[in-house]
Amino acid sequence: MKILVINCGSSSIKYQFYSLSENRILAKGIVEKIGMKGSFLKHEKESGQKVLFEGEILDHKIGIEYILGVLSSVKHGCIGSLNEINAVGHRVVHGGEEFSESVFITDEVMHALEKFNELAPLHNPPNLKGIYALKSLVPDVPQVAVFDTAFHHTMPQHAFMYAIPHALYKKYGIRRYGFHGTSHKYVSNRACEILGVDPSTVKVITCHLGNGASACAIRNGKSIDTSMGFTPVEGLIMGTRSGDIDMGAVTYIMDKERIGTKSASTLFNKHSGLLGISGISSDSREIRAAADKGDERCLLAVKMFDYRIKKYIGAYAAAMGGLDVLVFTGGIGENSDITRTGVCEGLEFLGIEIDQNLNEGLRGEERIIGKRDSRVKVMVVPTNEELMIAIDTQNIVTELFK
């Protein structure tokens, strides 16, 4: 089965085209700067050869037309006609309380998704634009939505509720939803596969550390808590997001700086985190480099980043009543041996011990990096959300048309 995986952002569309039965990625690429000057499509063939198409890509529909065009083009494509696309899987950020798993997209599902635009105003509207575009361009191809929130549906109420008047939960759905679910699910399952253990028998903490970052407590294969909340700003320190902060400080800053909700949201989502602390960059590599040269604020940023993750690991071990597997993923988790060391330092009492011979220099590869006899298996597992979306899409479509 050939499956096109689509991830629509506000001004970009990432895609990967899979032949799952053959375990191949036939093509992948990205459309960038949609609706801006200088928009383009960067396409990569299975051979690794790259092509660039510049053009006026005014909206998501035109972006999708470019993608379908290049996939079926004689010169750069990998299919003879669009009929060879068996299904499309979309990354959809918010599935609200309604969608606890991936779903075949019908008109009713699209209506239901419109409701979540308010909950994820930056992400869900472009996700929907991609769905509408494909529906109009290839109406006979089945489409599936795979939600970032779905994996966290198993969180118990005492973990997902905020201690605010219950009426606000009822009226606006104010609760913790969690995000990065597709990644947490993929890496925890993959870790269990590598270890040869049944996910339903172990306690796992996954740390997705990228520009966005979150931790997840997974007991017996189910998410029971995660660090992102109503929005992705809660929890760990991220590239530009503050993570946890006393909301008293938020209202105080708004008062003192005389700013409204929009500016406050920009402040805590776009100017905080590693960028805010360091004053230099949101990119952990640049911060590390400056910290190595003795920059005080970068040193502090690095310490705060590691410390926050360590606290969550302790909290989640307590929430699950133990820990068997700790997994690092995301750009930082997969590539930064120093971060992994900083996070795990002092957690020997929990059974977390890194073997530096296995950890040092490890980038983007699956590996157990814990000491052989340590109680907790510490691992690096590169995330692969696109593959997870392709697999879910294949499963749903196969079930539907069997």
Residues that bind ligand AMP (CB under 6 A): 210-211, 239, 283-285, 330-332, 335-336, 363
Specify the residue for token string 């990432």: 14
- Within 173-243, where are the H helices? 181-195
Handedness of CA 88, 90, 96, 101 (dihedral sign): positive
Specify the residue for token string 């809660």: 234
Give me the half-sphere count of Cα atoms (radius 13 Å) on the Cβ side of residue 148. Answer: 25
Beta bridge partners, 204, equal 218, 325
Instruction: Tell me how far apart the alpha carbons of residues 148 and 232 are, in angstroms, rounded to a whole number.
Output: 11
Confirm if 325 and 202 have CB atoms less than 8 A apart.
yes
Least distance CB 335 / ligand AMP (angstroms): 3
Query: At residue 245, what are phi and psi to the nearest 5 degrees?
Result: -155, 145
Least distance CB 274 / ligand AMP (angstroms): 7
Least distance CB 363 / ligand AMP (angstroms): 5
Instruction: Tell me how far apart the alpha carbons of residues 126 and 355 are, in angstroms, rounded to a whole number.
Output: 43
Phi-psi region of 295 (alpha: psi -120 to 50; beta: other; left: phi over 0): beta
Instruction: Tell me how far apart the alpha carbons of residues 76 and 69 are, in angstroms, rounded to a whole number.
Output: 9
Q: Which residue is nearest to ligand AMP (CB)?
A: 331
Confirm if 147 and 102 have CB atoms less than 8 A apart.
yes
Least distance CB 332 / ligand AMP (angstroms): 4
Least distance CB 281 / ligand AMP (angstroms): 8
Least distance CB 340 / ligand AMP (angstroms): 10
Catalytic residues: 148
Least distance CB 364 / ligand AMP (angstroms): 8
Calculate the alpha carbon distances from 299 to 13, 330, 340, 377, 391 in Å: 35, 21, 16, 29, 41
Strands 87-92 and 143-147 come out as parallel
- Written as six digits, the tokens of 163 are 């201690």
Confirm if 366 and 186 have CB atoms less than 8 A apart.
no
Torsion of CA 116, 102, 88, 55, to 10 degrees: 30
Contacts with 323 (C-beta within 8 Å, 6 or more apart), sequence order:
203, 204, 205, 313, 316, 317, 350, 351, 352, 376
- Written as six digits, the tokens of 104 are 């075949």
